[in-house]
Structure formats: C-alpha cells, structure tokens
Structure 1
Amino acid sequence: MKFGEWIDLQRRIFRNAQPGLLWVIGFLVLQVSCEWGGPPTIMVTAEEFRFSPARIEWVTDQPLRLLIRNQGRERHVFHSQELFGPEAKVLWHQPRVALQEANAVVLEPGQSIELSFTASAGLYPFRCWIKGHTGMEGAILIKDFSSS
C-alpha cells in the first residue's frame, strides 16, 4: 500500500466512524503505549564520575524498574553484589549488555540496560569499580511496606 492510499484509507475510516468508537480506539492505543499498570521506571545515569540519582528509596512488595544508562564518555560498571547476587530475582527487559562476576553490568558510552525486581527490605549498594572511579556509588533502600 502506498502512502497516499494509506492516508485515503484513514480519511474514509475517520469519516465513517462513530465518535465514541474513535475515543475507545484512542484510549486503547494510549493504554498500550503507556504500559498502564506496570511498575514505574527510574532512570539511573552513569557519568564521570557519579551515578544520578545516587540514592533510591522504595518499598517491599512493589516492583521497581530501573533503566541504567551510561551518559558519560567512558565505560562504567553498575556493580551490586546484593542486587545481582545468587538470590536475586531480577527480570531483564532486554539482553544483558555484559555481566562480569555475575554481579555487575558493564556499559559502554551510550549503552543502557533495563531491569526490574521486587526485593525484601534492606540496603542494596551499587558502585562502579573501575580504577579511578572512586566515589561513583549509590544505594537502593528498600523499606518494609508496613512501616512506610
């Protein structure tokens, strides 16, 4: 189908459709595109030489979705033994960029990775262990839902 034919088809559909039907179709498209009902996404950026935000607070029993993005000019590592450890229940939303020691994600400049998890109460520190990146660290604090 050529572009002009596509436009003509759309015009015919909209001209003959009931306004209520168009509203329902628009609502469904919006709902699918916004992923309503899913966990919110928190973006963690890695730059020279910090993570932002460096502290995230969350509650138990609520899934947390992280988008970790390297916006710097150098390679960075997101290392968390507690988050990526043996009991971790991490769901990866795309193929892993690179894992080392099974506890770290290595991100080249411009790369990102998205993951989600539900964790028990506790502190989940993360850091970049590349030499010279001292101080590039942060933590995710998961609080008990009943005490928040």
Structure 2
Amino acid sequence: MASSTASILWWLDRSFDHALAPLVLLIACLPIGCDPAVQSVHIAVQDNRFVPDHLILTSEKPINLTLMNEGREVHEFDSQLFTAAMTNILTIEPVERRTQRPWRLNPGDRLSITFSAPPGTYVFYCARKGHPGMSGTLVLKSGVSPRPSSSASGRSEPPPRHARR
C-alpha cells in the first residue's frame, strides 16, 4: 500500500510539473517593459462629447484610433490631422469608409483609423450641424508615454488653457 501511495504521489508530482512547465516557460519568455508597436486609443463618441477629449501620445509610433458612437445621434468625426499631407493613414476600418470625410458614425457604429503623424497639437471634432463645441485635442509629442487626460469621475478634462495676461 505504501508503495502504491508513493507511486501516485510521484505521478501527481511529475504530472503537476509537466502541466505547469509551458506556463512557466511562457511567463519567463514574456518581454517585460516592452512597448507595443502600435498605440491603441479608444474614444467613446457620446451625444455632445468625446470621452476622453484630450489625449497625449508619442509621435514615434503609429496610432490606432478607434471611435465608437455610444450616443443616440449621428456624429461626423473629422480633424485637420487627416487633411495634413504629412499624416500617413495606414488603415481605415471599415474599408469602404477610406475615402469618406468627415467620417459618419451612426449610433452603434465603430471606426478604426491607424495612422502616423509628426509632433503637434491636433483638434478633432464632430462636423455635424448643431454639434458646436463637440471637440477634443490630440497632442503628439516625441518620447512620451501615451495617456488620456480624464478626471476621477471618468469625464474628460478640457485641454489646458493659456494664462491670460
């Protein structure tokens, strides 16, 4: 009996090691501190606002910007960023929207744009009539970590205002 118990314990011990070996190997091989090749940003398009509406990203990596219309109204996304000859649009999904501008987003629609652009401050906005003030800012800097600017309530903060003299 002691012999069979020892055999079972040996088998369990051996099986357990084999079961964990791939996981341990995978964890050991994961790159630590590596940045992804593309920066991914998600913007919720809500009625009368973008969330977040102020983003700071690095200009050194391509950006995948995904917009989702979570509101009840139609919105038309646009930016001077995409009119600049220096902006390199890599992909647009859905593909049939590649030539459209501004990009129309019906309620529930998703638009994904992958692009690269030089450092600068770019305004994005809803071009739909009756949606004045529905805008945001994308700041592209050299050598910064990507981050949205939002408050603890989850609402986006407006871009910083210049001090008045």
* 1:91 aligned partner: 90
The 1:96–1:133 alpha-carbon spacing in structure 2 relative to 1, beyond 3 Å, is farther
- Counterpart CA distance in 1 for 2:117 and 2:87 is 8
Deviation track 1:68-95 (CA, whole Å, cap 9, x = no partner) reads 1111111111111323544321222532
- Measure how far apart 1:45 and its partner are: 1.1
- SS of 2:82's partner is helix
- Counterpart CA distance in 2 for 1:144 and 1:75 is 34
- SS of 1:90's partner is strand
* 2:23 aligned partner: 23
- Counterpart CA distance in 2 for 1:82 and 1:23 is 44
- Measure how far apart 1:96 and its partner are: 3.6
- SS of 1:19's partner is helix
Q: CA RMSD in A?
A: 2.9
In the comparison of the two structures, how many residue pairs are matched?
124
The gaps in structure 2 that reach 5 residues or longer are: 1-14, 145-165
The 1:97–1:54 alpha-carbon spacing in structure 2 relative to 1, beyond 3 Å, is farther
Deviation track 1:90-127 (CA, whole Å, cap 9, x = no partner) reads 22253246366x54211111011122222211111111
- Counterpart CA distance in 2 for 1:119 and 1:99 is 17
- Counterpart CA distance in 1 for 2:44 and 2:84 is 22
Does structure 1 conserve the Cα–Cα contact (< 8 Å) formed by 2:94 and 2:112?
no
Q: TM-score, normalised by structure 1?
A: 0.67
The 1:134–1:54 alpha-carbon spacing in structure 2 relative to 1, beyond 3 Å, is same
* 1:111 aligned partner: 109
- Counterpart CA distance in 1 for 2:61 and 2:98 is 25
Query: Percent identity between the aligned chains?
Result: 26
